[in-house]
């Protein structure tokens, strides 16, 4: 493409703005189907320096627009963190994130020197390979707002995830973008006809397809209790006394719901100083289980005696049986870096004022499966919901029901809770399991195995949701073989890249 540099930079800006607008709370999801087209067009035929700059612009706009809540959370809950420091943390994250669109734009630009068609053909494979890499970076892997999630609200399109995981949906979106870019960069009546045909097919699938998605039948009931506690950075020692009325209300809500319709009672990820090692909370938790005559699953800080007789804390979910006895414990495996632990703490001595207030949870090691009347379940906690390859381990270990407990109160009334919900929904489809999602402040939702919202509770209220569900034992292709499609994209991207470079350097 013989675009001038200003036009290329303008296309990169358009791409960097359009892509984040496709996610909550902007919710302009259709923009995802053209956002990458702008980036591809900006890179086709570009000099390496311009292509890299276009990729940088894309990333530099995407992160501050898509996840501005990161700075807000850091400022609100980080001791001694100024707005400047919080913005700096978001800036560092943005700087790291720009590496992926830079690599994407450079590869497209390089291959387009020999063939625009090859450059456009590699785009979906390369994009998925880079998303996959972004998800698996040591310590800082952050697969938040992958492009496929922009289409996850369509009940027909999202079903591909049961085969490929979220990466298949990303590939479809970027392939569509690449097709548009190819039709624009290589204009001919035939190319335009192909592009128009793809648009028509996509519209038909998106509009008609949802009517053919099966209806899932439920034969069980769970009670998802939304505790709705205000988020606090530090809890006073007399917190339980100060909130005695709140705890009594929640106890009443839980017991009455289970008595009216017998079923497991679920509380969210620990929203307050809840620990079964605290006799006051242990009495309340045991009372809920006994007085409701039902199982009670609750998020707690669980203390265990570790090596050298040191007490270690874990972010855990514990199931009590109707007699109040502990039946099951899951310790959160994937902890939030710089939130639930500080990686490489001893090397960050220069930032002690930022990290001293961050405690260290001990990560769990087992993808545990527990037993409820009628079937087996697993629970994952908060941030773990964004890692598809990890959640499939629960279904692979025999879980017939998935439960996600979370405390999204940390995010305030930002776009983060809606984005978190959007990603959790896809885990139901990938694993073909009912997903019960219980949160402190919202969004508390019941998803069927196809991603339908069966029931939901209004956010920012205290109450409980009657959540129908059923146990399922079938195993999807994604559960069986994991990220096979993402690895295939890595292989295809490398193969096309090598082939294209060899073709570029071969004698005429």
Residue 314 and residue 354 in contact, taking contact as beta carbons nearer than 8 Å: no
Sequence-ordered list of residues with C-beta below 8 angstroms from that of 101, at least 6 positions apart, any chain: 39, 55, 56, 58, 59, 62
pLDDT of amino acid 73? 77
Token readout for 438 is: 């219980």
Q: How far, in Å, CA of 295 to CA of 324, rounded?
A: 8
pLDDT of amino acid 358? 53
pLDDT of amino acid 505? 63
Residue 145 and residue 67 in contact, taking contact as beta carbons nearer than 8 Å: yes
Per-block average pLDDT, block size 10, for the chain (508 residues)? 90 98 96 98 96 97 93 68 75 90 96 91 97 91 95 97 98 97 87 88 94 96 96 84 95 97 96 93 97 97 87 95 97 84 58 54 94 97 95 97 94 92 98 98 96 97 98 97 97 89 64
Closest to 94 in 3D by CA, of 55, 127, 148: 55
Residue 36 and residue 20 in contact, taking contact as beta carbons nearer than 8 Å: no
Token readout for 145 is: 């707002």
Q: What is the secondary structure of 387-428 as a DSSP string?
A: -HHHHHHHHHTT-SEEEEEE-GGGGTTSSHHHHHHHHHHHHH
Q: Per-residue b/e over 454-468, b at no fewer than 16 CB within 10 Å?
A: bbbbebeebebbebb
Query: What is the torsional sign of CA 32, 34, 37, 38?
Result: negative
Active-site residue set: 269, 332, 382
pLDDT of amino acid 370? 97
pLDDT of amino acid 309? 82
pLDDT of amino acid 191? 81
pLDDT of amino acid 81? 66
Token readout for 40 is: 């591809």
Angle at 197 between CA 191 and CA 200, to 5 degrees: 145
Place of tokens 């920012």: 460
Token readout for 413 is: 């009334």
313 pairs with which residues across the strands?
Answer: 303
Q: How far, in Å, CA of 297 to CA of 290, rounded?
A: 13
Q: How far, in Å, CA of 451 to CA of 231, rounded?
A: 29
Residue 223 and residue 254 in contact, taking contact as beta carbons nearer than 8 Å: yes
Find the helix packing angle between 484-505 and 116-135, rounded to 10°. Answer: 140
Q: How far, in Å, CA of 337 to CA of 204, rounded?
A: 43
pLDDT of amino acid 507? 56
How far is it between the farthest Cα atoms of the chain? 83
Q: How far, in Å, CA of 185 to CA of 114, rounded?
A: 14
Q: In what helix (H) or strand (E) does residue 75 lie, and over which residues does it extend? A: helix 69-77
Q: What is the secondary structure of 159-201 as a DSSP string?
A: GGHHHH-HHHHHHHHHHHHHHHHHHHHS--HHHHHHHHHHHHH
């Amino acid at each position: 493409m013989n675009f001038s540099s200003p036009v290329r930079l303008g296309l990169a800006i358009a791409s960097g703005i359009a892509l984040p607008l496709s996610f909550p709370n902007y919710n302009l999801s259709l923009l995802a189907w053209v956002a990458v087209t702008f980036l591809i067009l900006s890179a086709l035929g570009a000099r390496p320096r311009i292509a890299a700059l276009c990729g940088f612009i894309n990333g530099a706009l995407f992160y501050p627009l898509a996840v501005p809540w990161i700075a807000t959370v850091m400022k609100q809950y980080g001791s001694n963190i100024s707005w400047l420091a919080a913005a700096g943390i978001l800036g560092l994250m943005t700087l790291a994130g720009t590496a992926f669109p830079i690599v994407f734009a450079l590869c497209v630009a390089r291959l387009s020197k020999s063939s625009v068609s090859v450059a456009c053909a590699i785009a979906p494979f390369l994009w998925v390979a880079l998303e996959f890499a972004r998800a698996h970076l040591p310590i800082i892997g952050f697969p938040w707002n992958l492009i496929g999630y922009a289409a996850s609200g369509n009940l027909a399109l999202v079903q591909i995830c049961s085969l490929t995981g979220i990466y298949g949906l990303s590939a479809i979106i970027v392939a569509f973008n690449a097709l548009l870019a190819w039709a624009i960069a290589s204009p001919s009546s035939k190319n335009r006809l192909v592009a128009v045909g793809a648009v028509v097919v996509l519209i038909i699938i998106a509009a008609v397809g949802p009517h053919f998605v099966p209806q899932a039948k439920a034969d069980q009931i769970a009670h998802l209790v939304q505790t709705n506690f205000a988020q606090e950075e530090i809890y006073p020692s007399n917190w339980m006394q100060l909130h005695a009325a709140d705890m009594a209300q929640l106890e009443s809500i839980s017991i009455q719901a289970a008595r009216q319709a017998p079923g497991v009672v679920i509380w969210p990820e620990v929203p307050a100083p809840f620990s079964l090692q605290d006799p006051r909370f242990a009495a309340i938790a045991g009372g809920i289980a006994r007085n409701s005559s039902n199982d009670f699953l609750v998020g707690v800080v669980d203390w265990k005696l570790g090596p050298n007789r040191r007490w270690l804390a874990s972010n855990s979910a514990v199931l009590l049986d109707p007699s109040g006895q502990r039946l099951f414990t899951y310790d959160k495996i994937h902890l939030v870096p710089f939130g639930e632990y500080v990686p490489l703490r001893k090397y960050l001595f220069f930032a002690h004022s930022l990290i001293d207030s961050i405690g260290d949870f001990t990560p769990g090691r087992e993808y545990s499966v527990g037993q409820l009347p009628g079937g087996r379940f697993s629970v994952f906690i908060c941030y773990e919901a964004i890692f598809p390859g990890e959640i499939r381990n629960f279904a692979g270990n025999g879980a017939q029901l998935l439960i996600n407990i979370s405390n999204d109160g940390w995010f305030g009334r930002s776009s983060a809770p809606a984005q978190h919900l959007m990603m959790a929904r896809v885990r139901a489809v990938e694993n073909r399991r009912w997903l019960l999602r219980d949160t402190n402040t919202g969004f508390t939702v019941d998803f069927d195995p196809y991603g339908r919202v069966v029931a939901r509770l209004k956010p920012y209220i205290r109450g409980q949701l009657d959540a129908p569900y059923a146990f399922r034992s079938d195993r999807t292709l994604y559960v069986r073989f994991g990220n096979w499609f993402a690895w295939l994209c890595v292989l295809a991207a490398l193969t096309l890249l090598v082939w294209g470079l060899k073709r570029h350097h071969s004698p005429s």
